[in-house]
Amino acid sequence: MISLYFLFIAIITTIFLVDITLDLLNMSHRGKDIPQQLSDVYSPEKYYLQQQYEVDNARFALFHKSLMFAVLLVFFIAGGFGRLHQWLSGFFLNPLITALVYFAIIGLASGIISLPFSIWNTFVIEEKYGFNKSTVKLFIIDLIKSSLITLIIGGGLLTLLACLFYRTGDWFWILGLAVMVVFSLLANALYSRVIVPLFNKQEPLEDGALLEAIKKFGNLAGFPVDKVYVIDGSKRSTKANAYFAGYGKNRRVVLYDTLIEKMSEPEIVAVLAHEIGHYRKGHIWINMFTGILQAAIFLYLFSVLSASTEVLLALGYSGNEHPVFHLALIGFALLFSPAERILGLLTHGMSRMMEYRADAFASSHDMGEELITGLKKLTAENLSNLTPHPLYVFVNYSHPTLLQRINRIKGIDKKCGG
Ligand SMILES: [Zn+2]
């Protein structure tokens, strides 16, 4: 079908152009004056370094995205998606095996194209700015492990979905949704216990002033914390972070060793107060619910679209087989990518609102000032951008900018009477 074929090309091209325009807009906004409230984040020398880092990253992203776009466009125009299936169907495999092999080939090919970029990013850019701590050996081991995990988990999930698709007809989207819900609950519950230990060591935080302060705050905030772990993030990068994982009895606080090294004790407690805020305000469940809702909409629309033979033709497949799970999935992913971007605007907006709420939770427990100095330190240590373009923030940021957060925290402090 000719018109659908051109619609696909238009979508792929428009998304790429919008993406690149936003990147360029953001890059051009880089020379802006630093707002007064942020004047103490960087020294002049360090700010110069930050600007260089910004340019290096932007150039890298531009090149990476352009190449991926060109490959996708050429492959699509040549009918590569359909031809690959045509070729595989010549082996007369079972449809499930065909789907798996199909995705394995596409996955492997895109992995091979991305690998040089990943190497360049780690060993050239991150290395140049002193972030990288990974070695070639560790990089290779990580690559093998993550490929195996993708193969097992991604392959398993796809097989299950393909199986339901071929056997359950109209019930597919509901049963598929049930699979996705169970999968995301399991993934959340097991992430810290199963996946993280494959890559990092997690050890309980030693008894001492920090643990005492964290426990004291947890009790005060009505959120007792008994499991605090330290993860050896310094093994790969000097960049710092902290997060909560799991829920119910399995929930745990995880601090990067790099965070402990760089922040004062009250600042660490303030960052944790923010994380506890996410829990207390139910953000974990809100995120999970919106994820499920999104999956439900996508699965339903996918099951409707998969009945169309026109999508198969537009992808370059002219055989008699119908429906074809993997081709329908690729057609769907391409066709709905604009809708996905629009949904992304909503979820990013929602996420930024939740960040303000979590900050407000920390400030309402008198941790506002410490949170501000802690966030400033994190920004400086990670060489983060102080003046992103507002449109870029609107589309791509899951967190408000540092300036927005500081202004909001200070406003709240005033409302609470200091
Ligand atoms: Zn947060």
Which domains are delineated in the chain? 2-199+280-415 (no CATH), 202-263 (3.30.2010.10)
Of the candidates 243, 274, 278, 265, the one whose C-alpha atom is nearest the C-alpha of residue 364 is 274
Query: What pLDDT, on a 0 to 100 scale, did the predictor assign at position 413?
Result: 45
Contacts of 208 (CB under 8 A, 6+ apart): none
Distance 349 CA to ligand 1 centre (A): 13
Query: What pLDDT, on a 0 to 100 scale, did the predictor assign at position 290?
Result: 93
Distance 356 CA to ligand 1 centre (A): 8
Distance 257 CA to ligand 1 centre (A): 19
Distance 218 CA to ligand 1 centre (A): 17
Query: What pLDDT, on a 0 to 100 scale, did the predictor assign at position 279?
Result: 87
Distance 117 CA to ligand 1 centre (A): 29
Distance 269 CA to ligand 1 centre (A): 14
**Distance separating the N- and C-terminal Cα atoms of the chain:** 66
Query: What pLDDT, on a 0 to 100 scale, did the predictor assign at position 169?
Result: 84
Distance 216 CA to ligand 1 centre (A): 21
Distance 105 CA to ligand 1 centre (A): 37
- How do the pLDDT tens digits run along the chain, 418 residues long? 569 999 999 999 999 999 999 999 999 988 778 888 899 999 989 999 999 999 999 999 999 999 999 999 999 999 999 999 999 998 978 999 999 999 999 999 999 999 999 999 999 999 999 999 999 999 999 999 999 999 999 999 999 999 999 999 889 999 999 999 999 888 888 888 889 999 999 999 988 999 999 999 988 888 888 788 999 999 999 888 888 777 776 778 899 999 999 999 999 999 999 998 998 899 988 998 999 999 999 999 999 999 888 999 999 998 888 899 999 999 999 999 999 999 999 999 999 999 999 999 999 999 999 999 999 999 999 999 999 999 999 999 999 999 999 999 998 545 444 3
Distance 304 CA to ligand 1 centre (A): 37
Distance 242 CA to ligand 1 centre (A): 10
Distance 93 CA to ligand 1 centre (A): 47
Distance 209 CA to ligand 1 centre (A): 24
Query: What pLDDT, on a 0 to 100 scale, did the predictor assign at position 318?
Result: 86
DSSP 1: -
**Could you tell me the pTM of the whole model?**
0.88
Distance 271 CA to ligand 1 centre (A): 9
Distance CA 236, CA 239 (A): 9
Distance 83 CA to ligand 1 centre (A): 45
Query: What pLDDT, on a 0 to 100 scale, did the predictor assign at position 418?
Result: 37
**Three-state helix/strand/coil letters over 104-170:** HHHHHHHHHHHHHHHHHHHHHHHHHCCCECCCHHHHHHHHHHHHHHHHHHHHHHHHHHHHHHHHHHH
Distance 244 CA to ligand 1 centre (A): 10
Distance 396 CA to ligand 1 centre (A): 16
Distance 203 CA to ligand 1 centre (A): 23
Distance 206 CA to ligand 1 centre (A): 25
Distance 30 CA to ligand 1 centre (A): 25
Q: Is 127 exposed, middle or buried (CB count within 10 Å of its CB: 0-12, 13-18, 19+)?
A: middle
Residue 388 sits at φ, ψ, to 5 deg, of -70, 155
Distance 350 CA to ligand 1 centre (A): 12
C-alpha dihedral, 388 to 392 to 394 to 398, nearest 10°: -70
Distance 371 CA to ligand 1 centre (A): 12
Distance CA 342, CA 348 (A): 10
Distance 19 CA to ligand 1 centre (A): 25
Cis peptide before 224 (omega within 30 of 0): no
Distance 275 CA to ligand 1 centre (A): 6
